[in-house]
Amino acid sequence: MDKFTQMAVLLDIYGGLLTDKQKDVMEQYYSYDLSLQEIAENAGITKQGVHDLIRRAEHTLIKTDEKLGFINRLTNIQVCLEKVEQRLESEESKSAEVVACREEIVNIINTFLGG
């Protein structure tokens, strides 16, 4: 997972632990892909201030996940679901139940894991 994706996921999971200003700046940077200058203008602070807020927020999110480990758990769930999906896909029988199970797995991956 690249850093941009990792931060977006961490923000979704742990964003409530950040200050309102940190969360707002992180969302602008990671969710809306705004530049530091654009965020600085929106927030009424300097570009360096935005940079510092982002770095502190990233540190908080990373340290929190190191302690709680939700990203690792989600990744493991995704790997398992993908294995089940592959096994269902390779089954010769394409009964309605197998197709429904496969569709449900795809929905779980897309809903909870951003697949």
Percent of the chain with pLDDT over 90: 53
For the chain, the domains span 3-68, 72-113
Question: From the CB of residue 110, how many other CB atoms can be counted at a distance below 10 Å?
Answer: 10
pLDDT greater at residue 73 or residue 96: 73
**Confidence band for 114, pLDDT divided at 50, 70 and 90:** low
Q: Which long-range contacts (CB under 8 A, 24 or more apart) does 21-28 make?
A: 21/53, 22/53, 22/56, 22/57, 22/60, 23/57, 25/50, 25/53, 25/54, 25/57, 26/53, 26/54, 26/57, 26/58
Asked if 11 contacts 76 with a C-beta cutoff of 8 angstroms, the reply is no
Burial class (CB in 10 A: 0-12, 13-18, 19+), 38: middle
User: Once rounded to an integer, what is the mean pLDDT over residues 11-29?
Assistant: 96
Q: 3-68 has which CATH code? A: 1.10.10.10
Taking all residues of the chain, what is their mean pLDDT, rounded to a whole number?
Answer: 87
Tell me the whole-structure pTM to 2 decimals. 0.72
pLDDT at 48: 98
Asked if 39 contacts 48 with a C-beta cutoff of 8 angstroms, the reply is no
The helix-helix angle for 70-90 and 96-113 (nearest 10°) equals 160
Burial class (CB in 10 A: 0-12, 13-18, 19+), 14: buried
